[in-house]
């Protein structure tokens, strides 16, 4: 579904991403991991159109989409969440999710005069309520966003992303700041999303979550691809162990 070829991004003299290539198979959970500063969020921003690549190519269903605006990518079936919550705190949970469906609204001035807008809004609200219930925030559907806990807001942002009817969903650290119970619930939600046929590209620091849920893992370090493979292959890779724990840990592992 998604193919990245020799992707690079420079900010002045800083090379944040250097010749990274990988593919994401449709219907899979594909995780991106790496130490702080490895370039994970930069990669997400390039894929989702927030940044324009300095060099390289991004293909979605075989079509080059590098540098396209986020709204254009959303129309092609790509949606994302953010590492730092991007929730409208002056709206209710339901209104936040309805925002995510705006691309599918076909209301017009004439339609509004004929009542079509009201019917469309009712349909959007019904779908928003379904998605809110799906992510486990149903009891707070009409609550103001300021009344929701951090964990519920994380789920709410996922519901809003799902409202755009994506075929590929980019989740940027969905478990960050969550306790063990909330992390387990987010893990099961991601499993459910993937089982529904939506491809998931995930950036996450929680290694237990990543190892339990990923079909394939890409490891970045200093903006370069360090390794990739299954959870078992990545877990046993000496270069990955060194990047996370240092070379002494590799030596100790070898001795063990």
Task: Over range 205-219, report the average pLDDT.
Answer: 93
* Fold of the domain built from segment(s) 2-77+166-255: Rossmann fold (3.40.50)
Could you read off the pLDDT of 21-61 as tens digits, one per residue?
Answer: 999 999 899 999 988 888 999 999 999 999 999 999 999 99
Number of other residues whose CB lies within 10 A of the CB of residue 97: 29
pLDDT above 60 for 12: yes
Which pLDDT value is given to residue 118? 63
Which pLDDT value is given to residue 256? 54
Q: Where in the chain is the domain with CATH 3.40.50.300?
A: 2-77+166-255
The secondary structure element, H or E, covering residue 185 is: helix 180-195
DSSP 92: B
Number of other residues whose CB lies within 10 A of the CB of residue 133: 13
Of residues 96 and 256, more confidence is placed in 96
Which pLDDT value is given to residue 250? 46
Asked whether the beta carbons of 218 and 32 are under 8 A apart, the reply is yes
Task: Give me the long-range contacts of 182-188 (CB less than 8 A, separation at least 24).
Answer: 182/151, 182/154, 183/209, 185/136, 185/151, 185/155, 186/154, 186/155, 187/212, 187/213
Kindly state the tokens that stand for 140: 């707070």
The C-alpha atoms of residue 223 and residue 228 are separated, in whole angstroms, by: 14
Of residues 151 and 83, more confidence is placed in 151
Task: Over range 4-33, report the average pLDDT.
Answer: 92
Which pLDDT value is given to residue 188? 95
CA proximity to 183, closest of 157, 207, 216, 215: 207
The C-alpha atoms of residue 175 and residue 211 are separated, in whole angstroms, by: 14
The C-alpha atoms of residue 250 and residue 214 are separated, in whole angstroms, by: 24
DSSP 61: T
Of residues 253 and 152, more confidence is placed in 152
The C-alpha atoms of residue 94 and residue 144 are separated, in whole angstroms, by: 9
pLDDT above 80 for 246: no
Could you read off the pLDDT of 153-169 as tens digits, one per residue?
Answer: 999 999 999 999 999 99
Asked whether the beta carbons of 62 and 1 are under 8 A apart, the reply is no
Asked whether the beta carbons of 52 and 240 are under 8 A apart, the reply is no
Q: What is residue 111's three-state secondary structure?
A: helix
Asked whether the beta carbons of 75 and 103 are under 8 A apart, the reply is yes
Q: How far apart are the first and last CA of the chain?
A: 41
């Amino acid at each position: 579904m998604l193919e990245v070829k020799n992707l690079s991004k420079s900010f002045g003299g800083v090379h944040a991403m250097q010749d990274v290539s990988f593919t994401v198979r449709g219907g899979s959970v594909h995780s991106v991991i790496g130490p702080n500063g490895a370039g994970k969020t930069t990669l997400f921003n390039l894929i989702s159109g927030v940044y324009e690549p300095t060099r390289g190519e991004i293909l979605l269903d075989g079509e080059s989409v590098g540098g396209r605006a986020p709204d254009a990518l959303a129309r092609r079936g790509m949606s994302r969440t953010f590492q730092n919550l991007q929730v409208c705190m002056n709206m209710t949970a339901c209104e936040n999710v309805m925002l995510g469906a705006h691309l599918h609204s076909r209301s017009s001035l004439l339609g509004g005069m004929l009542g079509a807008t009201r019917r469309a809004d009712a349909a959007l609200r019904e779908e928003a309520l379904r998605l809110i219930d799906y992510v486990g925030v149903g009891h707070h559907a009409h609550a103001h966003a300021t009344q929701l806990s951090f964990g519920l807001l994380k789920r709410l942002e996922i519901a809003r992303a799902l409202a755009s009817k994506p075929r590929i969903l980019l989740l940027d650290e969905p478990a960050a700041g969550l306790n063990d119970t909330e992390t387990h619930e987010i893990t099961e939600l991601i499993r459910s999303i993937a089982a529904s046929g939506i491809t998931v590209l995930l950036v996450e620091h929680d290694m237990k979550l990543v190892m339990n849920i990923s079909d394939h893992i890409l490891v970045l370090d200093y903006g370069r691809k360090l390794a990739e493979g299954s959870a078992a292959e990545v877990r046993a890779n000496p270069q990955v162990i060194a990047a996370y724990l240092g070379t002494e840990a590799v030596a100790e592992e070898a001795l063990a």
